[in-house]
Chains A and B, each alone.
Chain A
Amino acid sequence: MTVELQDRGVAVCRYDDLLPELGVRALVGDAHVAVFRTFDGAVFAIDAVDPFSGASVLSRGVVGSHGGEPVVVSPMHKQRFELRTGRCVEDPSRHVRVFSVDVVDGRVFVGAGAATDQ
């Protein structure tokens, strides 16, 4: 069990619970994580806390694309964050953490630590 946690991260929900382009928020350790399923079926997880406002709301943003890249738009002040990289489109010096995601047997696992900083 412990091994599985370390390997795959925390199971947050079933894949079918994720509706296309509708984010959910999960608690992974202490971190608030926003998990999204994009239209093509891919799943992404980024920090849910909007670095500009400090509010934990990114899971509630509109999901779409910018120049073909999947993004979520902060519902607070409309900055866009790339789901792949966590980079803020409006201000590339700011970004949110990206978490690794695994879908196994219809379950979605989010990596306990930050997966990448790119």
Chain B
Amino acid sequence: MYGELACGSAVHSVATAQRRREVVKFISHARNEAEAIAKPWSATLAAMDERSSRRLVVIGDGMVGHRFVDAVVQRDASRVWAITVLAEEPRPAYDRVALSSLFAGVTAAELALPSPKRDAVDVRLGEAAVRIDRDQREVTTSNGGVVGYDALVFATGSTPFVPPIPGADAASCFVYRTIEDVAAITAAGATAASGAVIGGGLLGLEAADALRRLGLRTHVIEYANRLMPMQLDDGAGEALRLRIEALGLDVRLGAKTTAIEVRHATSQARRLHFEDGGHLDVDLVVFSAGIRPRDELARACGLAVGERGGVVVDATCRTADSHVWAIGEVACVDGAMFGLVAPGYAMAEVVADRLCGGGDATFADADCSVKLKLLDVDVATFGDAFATSSGALSLVYANPVSGVYKKLVVSDDATRLLGGMLVGDATEYALLRPLVGAELPLPADPAALLRIGDGTGEAVGSGALPSSALVCSCNGVTKGSLCAAIADGAREIGELKTKTGAGTGCGSCVPLMKAIIGDELAAAGIPISKALCEHFEHSRAELFDIVRVTGIRAFSRLVAEYGRDRGCDICKPAVASIFASLGAGHILAGEQAALQDTNDHFLANLQKDGTYSVVPRIPGGEITPAKLAVIAQVAGDFGLYTKITGAQRIDMFGARLDQLPAIWRRLVDAGFESGHAYGKALRTVKSCVGSSWCRFGVQDSVQLAIDLELRYRGLRAPHKVKAAVSGCARECAEARGKDFGVIATEQGWNLYLGGNGGFTPRHAELFAQALDTETLVRLIDRFLMFYIRTADRLQRTSSWLESLDGGLDYLRAVIVDDSLGICAELDAAMAAHVRDYRDEWQGALEDPAVLSRFVSFVNAPGADDHTVQFVSQRHQPRPATATERTRLTDQEAIR
């Protein structure tokens, strides 16, 4: 029977397993049952042979199961637990909460949850648990395998409820829970014109958004008399309805669907019938009428389930069987079930703590606060949003015109915040949620907490929060731990995220985190230094303005008048970049040359052995066979290693400094230009093949990419800038991973801003839709110029956007509505750039003074450089390692 386990990590001898069972039995016999449950498992563990590996089986690799396994792996340093995960779904755990982003261009692979350090975990994808034998402590799987356990954890989640009405099984009826569901809905959406979502709750509205994105006429059918009846009151539901209808969706409240009429020929749905006799014609239906816990296995093996289902567990998430636990949506904790991920995560931590001897954690008050953007509408509820506490008072602000509804629930003496509901604008959520339950009194007029009207009374800062306040509910980080990290040296949001994990879930607490950093540093008397380096007190943006206004174009003057000493590798290249952005001639002309770091100085990329790589520009990634042949010829003649880059061009490696001019002479003669791979500048505008060839393409993505790349080539910026254009929503060019990305639609171009790959990948966010080419280019012009003017040194567009107070909305105000009155200047700056662009390599080749610096040794221009040596690998050169180098030199000496 243990043969099944031989391939996994859970290999034990039968004897060990039996002995372990005896120990456990002994313990549970020796004490009464209640005491055994209350006793932390650490005691049980201590009583065991410490080297014995114990078997943990997790059923379900969903969000909570995944978090649970991570938590165990993290705590279980001595690898006590051998973990097997039985996963019904065919792919590893993914971010179900973000399922809808699949309709916005995110790929299924990108939804995967990160899994650090899990090699010791046996995850069996596509292998469901089908039977549990609690006496033998064994689980039978859908492959017929049998897995024994010492601890069994249900993390089976829920399944969408499909009401038993005629026609519900028609071919075009779907549910919305998995990646496969999304694929099925997308496929069906291609041939449908209209769709209905049955259920106007949180998930139903997400599904409605999906249908809308697929271009369907979308209807929302809700049985209750308001949207999101579980989370919102009538007023809030009404505000949400107004907003959603304004988007062109049809909302029907108080409507009970009684039957779905099906086309006989295709068995597709065609018409919904309602209880009141009305009907509605639709091609596609998504059920979102609630969820049911997946407790079928638990029932079958005799475990207790709740009134409305769910595996009954105590506050430690343990069932009456001391070897069996349940967490996430399937768990019924003290009678309550939770359809949100944060409570599930909290349960996962509790059980991980228990299993790893981490003490006596229990699952207490689940935080059921939510903040969502549903159909672009902010919706948030937190704490006692329905004012059910005794004596609770509600303060309501409603603006039916703008579809904004805000409610605060306060204690009877109006001194403490109990909860609230925000629709249409939820900016206050980040500060208000952690205030719930705080012991601190509210301002005299609690309405001051809402940023409405001319909010009188004092504003509340993050200082009002006690240190126990939970700031990040996704990851359970309190204000106290954030302050500790700040005291420990974290000064920016990125650092704080890495150190504490806060802000890495839904992100709604990021504004509050920023406020806490500011307030903490101010309180500690630490000025928030924006100094660029030891030579300038100014930030990059301030220096930019100084250079722009004073017209200074020499570093020596700038540092003498505004800085101190002689500069460094931080301020010199930064100032060089500012000069370049403001048009100061060739970057190697005169004194400027000494400001550039080596890459800019030699217009090539330094490699580990001191040689350089060469990247000619290939606009949009389009290249003729003749030009390809030139690259091949040059690389061959100079013995260069060639590699295709991720940005659709060709990189040639291994050029010695003194070879660069000759290489570039050949390239420039053949019509190539510098690709600026060495600069903090526009790199490339990647493109898919687009409508000229692709069956799906709706616009000519290649042409636009070439035009954009030629427009912005040579543009210096605080950091590198990457871009891409896709010819349709399939997004083959991965435009959303770029600083600016353009995706074609039938209606025009969609512009996404602020994405990047690299160390902390980030998707660009939708900035504007359905643009014509002229408007698109104008917006990108202004976006780039505003970024170049105001960003910090080495700040990518994503963190720059994050640092703007008001983020994308603020940017929209500046570059669309011209709120600062600078658009004309930005436009003029870009026009000047386009007008004055000259190829840097051509310029260098024409300047003998510049060329004279490309020598190996000033006093021996022809001499060999022994530090540069190559060996052959896969038929191409690569730098010799240190040992190889010595060997080669010795051989030479012998010769």
Contact = CB atoms under 8 A, between A and B. Distances in A.
B265 to A, nearest CB: 70
Given A20-B594, A49-B867, A70-B566, A64 B859 contact: no
B610 A55 contact: yes
Interface residues of B, number: 38
A57 interface: yes
B565 A27 contact: no
B112 to A, nearest CB: 33
B857 A62 contact: no
Contacts of A66: 534, 568
A73 B657 CA distance: 18
B858 A63 contact: no
A64 B572 CA distance: 8
Given A26-B859, A68-B565, A19 B593 contact: yes
A54 interface: yes
Contacts of A57: 598, 606, 610
A65 B569 contact: no
Contacts of B865: 32, 56
Interface string A43-56: 00000010001111
A17 to B, nearest CB: 7
A57 B598 CA distance: 9
B727 interface: no
B870 to A, nearest CB: 14
A69 to B, nearest CB: 9
A73 B863 contact: no
B755 interface: no
A60 B860 contact: no
A90 B593 CA distance: 26
Contacts of B867: 32, 49, 54-56
Contacts of A12: 858-859
Contact of B858 (A13, A39, A62, A75): A13
B568 A64 contact: yes
B609 A55 contact: yes
B609 A62 contact: no
Contacts of A56: 610, 865, 867-868
Contacts of A13: 858-859
A10 B882 contact: no
Given A24-B858, A35-B858, A73 B882 contact: no
Main secondary structure of the interface of A (DSSP, over half): strand
Interface in B560-608: 565-569, 571-573, 591, 593-599, 601-602, 606, 608
Contacts of A96: none
Interface in A1-33: 10-13, 17, 19-22, 24-27, 32
B164 to A, nearest CB: 67
Nearest to B611: A55
A62 B606 contact: no
Main secondary structure of the interface of B (DSSP, over half): loop
Contacts of B597: 62, 75
Contacts of B606: 57, 60, 75-76
Contacts of B863: 27
B655 to A, nearest CB: 14
A106 to B, nearest CB: 15
A69 B853 CA distance: 26
B566 A64 contact: yes
A57 B410 CA distance: 67
A39 B568 CA distance: 13
Nearest to A25: B857
B822 to A, nearest CB: 32
A94 interface: no
B568 A10 contact: no
Contacts of A65: 535, 565-568
Contacts of A78: 569
Nearest to B865: A56
Contact of B594 (A10, A21, A25): A21
A38 B657 CA distance: 23
Contacts of B657: 60
A65 B608 CA distance: 25
Contacts of B659: none
17 contacts: A22-B594, A22-B853, A25-B856, A27-B863, A39-B556, A53-B608, A60-B601, A60-B657, A61-B598, A62-B573, A64-B535, A64-B572, A65-B535, A65-B565, A66-B534, A75-B597, A76-B610
Interface of B: 534-535, 556, 565-569, 571-573, 591, 593-599, 601-602, 606, 608-610, 657, 853, 855-860, 863, 865, 867-868, 882
Given A24-B858, A62-B598, A66-B534, 8 more contacts: A27-B863, A32-B857, A55-B609, A56-B867, A57-B598, A62-B573, A64-B535, A70-B566
